[in-house]
Every structure is written in structure tokens, then in C-alpha cells.
């Protein structure tokens, strides 16, 4: 995760001037998807005082495609979490989400929308 000014492609994808600019963010190595982290640090489980809210933004046109997410601990194949978020938000190419994982640590996520795919890693605290 990064602090500071997000890359211009992420700002543009998240609606330009309406995009968050002062909160932590994550970006895939490919630069195809990024997310603004609301409620840093992300927390495992279902915390009572705040959810792991992420505003995903994609660098390609959504064309009506949902964002599909599959994740697992970085060095294990299970447990697996899956999510699907519809293409129903604006401005920009965004998908608001809440992503919960059952245990703390580094999690690897494969993200796909339409014909695009990217991977991100997120760290979740206890």
C-alpha cells in the first residue's frame, strides 16, 4: 500500500477531480487496477468498528462487466474468499467494495472484469 499522491491513471479511472487523494491506495504491478483504502489498516474478520472498504478503479473500460475477486493467503491455497461487485457506480471506472478475509496476514487477490485481469496483494491486520 502507498501513501501520497496516487498515479494519474488511478485518479482518472476513479473520476478525476472526484477521486480520493489523501488516503492510502494499492496498485497492481500491471497498472490495470488500483484501490483506495478507506479505513486503513485493513482488518481481518468482521470488525465491529469499521469495515475493510476499498474503492477499486480500473484503467480499462468496464463495459458493463462486474468485478470478480478471488483471494487466498499469499503462501497458501486455502482458505479462499470470492466476491463479485456490479458495474453500477460512477463517476469513472469504479467498483465500491467491502473485502473481508478470515485471518490476518498478506493476501493475494486475482481481479477480473470483462477480458481484463490483474493481481494485487493486501495486508490485513488482526
Helix, strand or coil, per DSSP, at residue 11:
helix
Q: How many CB atoms lie within 10 A of CB 99?
A: 20
- pTM, rounded to two decimals: 0.94
Convert the pLDDT of each residue in 46-93 to its tens digit.
877 778 999 999 999 999 999 999 999 999 999 999 999 999 999 999
pLDDT at residue 103, as a whole number: 96
Could you say which DSSP state residue 125 is in? B
Task: Provide φ and ψ at 55, rounded to 5°.
Answer: -100, 105
Residue 38: its H or E element: strand 33-38
Residue 9: its H or E element: helix 8-13
The number of angstroms, rounded, from the C-alpha of 54 to the middle of its chain's C-alpha atoms is 5
Q: Could you tell me the domains of the chain?
A: 8-124 (2.60.40.10)
Amino acid at each position: 500500500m502507498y501513501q501520497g499522491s496516487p498515479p494519474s491513471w488511478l485518479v482518472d479511472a476513479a473520476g478525476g477531480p472526484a477521486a480520493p487523494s489523501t488516503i492510502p491506495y494499492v496498485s497492481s504491478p500491471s497498472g490495470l487496477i488500483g484501490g483506495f483504502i478507506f479505513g486503513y489498516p485493513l482488518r481481518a474478520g468482521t470488525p465491529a468498528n469499521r469495515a475493510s472498504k476499498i474503492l477499486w478503479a480500473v484503467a480499462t473500460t468496464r463495459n458493463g462487466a462486474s468485478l470478480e475477486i478471488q483471494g487466498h493467503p499469499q503462501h497458501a491455497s486455502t482458505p479462499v474468499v470470492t466476491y463479485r461487485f456490479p458495474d453500477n457506480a460512477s463517476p469513472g471506472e469504479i467498483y465500491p467494495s467491502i473485502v473481508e478475509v478470515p485471518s490476518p496476514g498478506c493476501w493475494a487477490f486475482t481481479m477480473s472484469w470483462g477480458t481484463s485481469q490483474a493481481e494485487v496483494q493486501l495486508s490485513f491486520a488482526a
